[in-house]
Structure 1
């Protein structure tokens, strides 16, 4: 069973030290997915706002800011990555499930009223084509699992986590990245066992089990996701009104920072 999550103070300090104002900062990675090991690093993701002078000027802009905290110096293994709002909004419109998960993460370190507005708008960018993101992500993780020697539990869990997130999105239109919550719907006992291994072990916890069984499950759930995509009532494309609303929000954010 998972235990309540205690968020280190260093995560809030990282937000406070960011060189730009933040729209939001949330926790992603294994802590969001529900199976962190004791030595798992902290993945902090978010959106920053470049000032108008930098956006309009000739100098290079920091569309992406990445800061890594060395655990030897900061007592926490932390990877902070943020994108400027314009880049993040474009990623939302490119059927990127990863940024949807960051935006909707319930593990919030920093938020703003516009964060809530963006969450509301993001519900309108979900299309049936988001299934391609999750099919591709799971395929990459499965290939990684197969090629590793020794094999690890982590990529196997990522394989199934992405498939179940995709299935949930196709069926409900809602983003859910926590594998414990997802598995409460499908009740696959082997996933509970794998999560217990990962939580009780190390980030590189070795896998011991029947690879052929998991391959059959991977293939079955991939077909289920393809079927759910084909049967989904989600739109095929994002409507123009949603793109206009995102553009309007971006302009308001820029003007607010330039005031």
Structure 2
């Protein structure tokens, strides 16, 4: 891992209006065949004479073989179909041009927020949202910026929360998926009338610094945390097409 660099030198995204920050004062803001065919010789041979018992037994064998083949086929589904089945209650987002994908809870609505690439939020609980932002960078790997805790803390204070909010980094760690390093972190941002409990994931690829954040009101954290962790864990960066 690269040596930590001062927070001030990190090529962090500019602070932009976010689901948690763009609102009026005093209002909470917008978290994985088988083929059965008879041998040619058997197909060309004249049919044998069978008695009723043999015919019944043969039919049963055909049915069992057919059922086994069907079961084998169903046990190895299409990867995309399997992923959708395994993540019921979530909607996938894929941007092949920018090079990312993630899941968000079903029912959240897409909204336009200046400075963000995409934002989805719950219309009733506006603090429950996910946003993704990208900026250009000359770095090749997130580890070039320093260790997870230092990078996450600088990003939270400079970009993810307004200066007026009191922030606390709870955890930051490195994960490697398919040879690419991701930093994931958990933090809180306290405003005068609410506290947002949030999760983030960052990575560098394709000449871009990718930042995904999701969260919820602290009072709903216990109810939402599993879903928000699913959002962050689903975040992937792919080579751009």
TM-score (norm 1): 0.23
Structure ranking higher in helix proportion: 1
Q: Return the TM-score normalized by structure 2.
A: 0.24
> Which protein shows a greater Rg?
2
